[in-house]
Amino acid sequence: MANVIWISGGACNGNTHSFLNAEEPTVVDLVTDFGINILFHESAAPTYGEQSKKLFHDVIAGRIALDLLVCEGTVITGPNGTGRYNMLLGRPHKDWIKELAAVAGVVVAVGQCASWGGLPATPPNPSGSMGLQYKRNERGGWLGADFKAKSGLPVINISGCPAHPDWISQILVAVATGRVGDIQLDQFQRPLTFFKSFTQTGCTRNQYFEWKSSVEEFGQGTRKGCLFYEKGCRGSMTHSSCNRILWNRQSSKTRSGHPCHGCTEPAWPFYDLAPGTVFKSQKVMGVIPQDVPEGTDPLSYTLHAAAARAAAPQWAKEDMFVV
């Protein structure tokens, strides 16, 4: 049995919706087979109002064990540091978070907003939003850089907008089965098992990426050309398993013809959504990609790309998946 409190801050609740679509295992499996005991969830709460308040106080006082605190959405600190833009059970949500996190065995941030701040923390950030242990790229956030849960782990960031449902449910399984110590984290506290590879790993457009063959227009066949060169795809520099663990066991953004926006990375949304930066690859002097695959630099990449493009075979310009 693992007691879980799932609490929501500045968010669209997309991670709750995503979680409800989990397949391996499903939410029902988590409850019936893995002993996940959801004490509180704002959309599917087994308790309400005064009951919930009493529950929270019992948890904070140590009368009820809290194995896992799941936080969705940003911690809202506005206006003027009071947190009163987001009240929960008569208190600022931010204050509950701090006290619950202090007694939790494991603390998980689900989604981009809880991990780093996401869209709400994009300048001018009127709600004073931040992530649990990060403020975009900067370590710290609401709980502070030195925070560790009782298990000794910092906040586990299951990033993404939203996080993939199976990334969430499989971390819950690790907690429920006492295997949380096996979770290895990357430099941004994301579980390596989901975030070591790139979105590009498993993308059906990789062969076009290799030969620098570009999609020219959206709708130009679902699997013809790579979206990196013109459409702003960040799949080669974004850590995610979206093309290894498919969404709904069916597809991914890039498989369906949509560029990866890099929603699992702390700096997302890139360029702070300035006009002309979404669905468009940014270039220096009109030709050199400003953002290049991780581990290379713009000039080396441009030289490599020019050689590959010159050597590209005819098939690399065609749809390989005609049915």
Q: Which stretch binds ligand SF4 (CB under 6 A): 35-43, 132-140, 233-241, 272-280?
A: 233-241
Is 200 an interacting residue with respect to ligand SF4 (CB under 6 A)?
Answer: yes
Note whether 18 binds ligand SF4 by CB under 6 A: no
Q: Which residues pair with 7 in a beta bridge?
A: 71
Q: Tell whether residue 158 is a contact of ligand SF4 (CB under 6 A).
A: no
Residue 215, exposed/middle/buried by CB under 10 A (0-12, 13-18, 19+)?
A: buried
CB of 180 to ligand SF4, least distance (A): 24
Q: Which residues, in sequence order, are bridge partners of residue 75?
A: 130
Q: Which is nearer to ligand SF4, 88 or 233 (CB)?
A: 233
Q: What is the Cα–Cα distance from 248 to 28, expressed in whole angstroms?
A: 17
The distance of closest approach from Cβ of residue 121 to ligand SF4 in the complex, given in angstroms and rounded to an integer, is: 17
Q: How does strand 138-139 pair with strand 36-41?
A: unpaired
**CB nearer to ligand SF4: pick between 94 and 190:** 190
227 binding ligand SF4? (CB under 6 A): yes
Site string for ligand SF4, 97-136 (x = CB under 6 A): ----------------------------------------
Task: Please tell me whether the peptide bond between 269 and the residue prior to it is cis, using omega within 30 degrees of 0.
Answer: yes
Closest among 213, 204, 177, 175 to 191, alpha carbons compared: 175
Nearest to ligand SF4 of 93, 255 (CB atom) = 255
Q: Which is nearer to ligand SF4, 4 or 260 (CB)?
A: 260
Q: Work out which of 175, 203, 245, 305 binds ligand SF4, going by CB under 6 A.
A: 203
Helix (H, G, I), strand (E, B) or coil at 249: coil
CA 289 distance to own-chain centroid = 25
Binding piece for ligand SF4, criterion CB under 6 A, among 65-73, 129-137, 237-245, 311-319? 237-245
Residue 139 sits at φ, ψ, to 5 deg, of: -70, 145
- Assign 72 to helix, strand or coil: strand
Position of minimal CB gap to ligand SF4? 235
Question: Which residue lies nearer to ligand SF4 by CB, 125 or 222?
Answer: 222
Q: How wide is the angle at C-alpha 266 spanned by C-alphas 264 and 271, nearest 5°?
A: 100
Tokens of 166: 């199976």
Residue given tokens 């925070």 in the structure block: 147
8 Å CB contact between 70 and 30:
no
DSSP calls for 87-115: EETTEEHHHHHHHHHHH-SEEEEEHHHHH
The encoded tokens of residue 317 equal: 């310009």
Tell which positions 245-284 bind ligand SF4, by CB under 6 A.
Answer: 252-254, 260-264
Q: Which range, of 14-22, 147-155, 184-192, 230-238, touches ligand SF4 by CB under 6 A?
A: 230-238
> Which residue, 4 or 242, is less far from ligand SF4 as judged by CB?
242
Q: In angstroms, what is the minimal distance from the CB of 26 to ligand SF4? A: 20
What tokens appear for 162 in the block?
Answer: 């939203």
The answer to whether 206 contacts ligand SF4 (rule: CB under 6 A) is yes
Q: Which two tokens stand for residue 20?
A: 């409800």
Residue among 115 and 254 whose Cβ is closer to ligand SF4: 254
How many residues contact ligand SF4, by CB under 6 A?
24
Residues making contact with ligand SF4 (CB under 6 A):
160, 199-200, 203, 205-206, 209, 226-228, 233, 235-236, 238, 240, 242, 252-254, 260-264
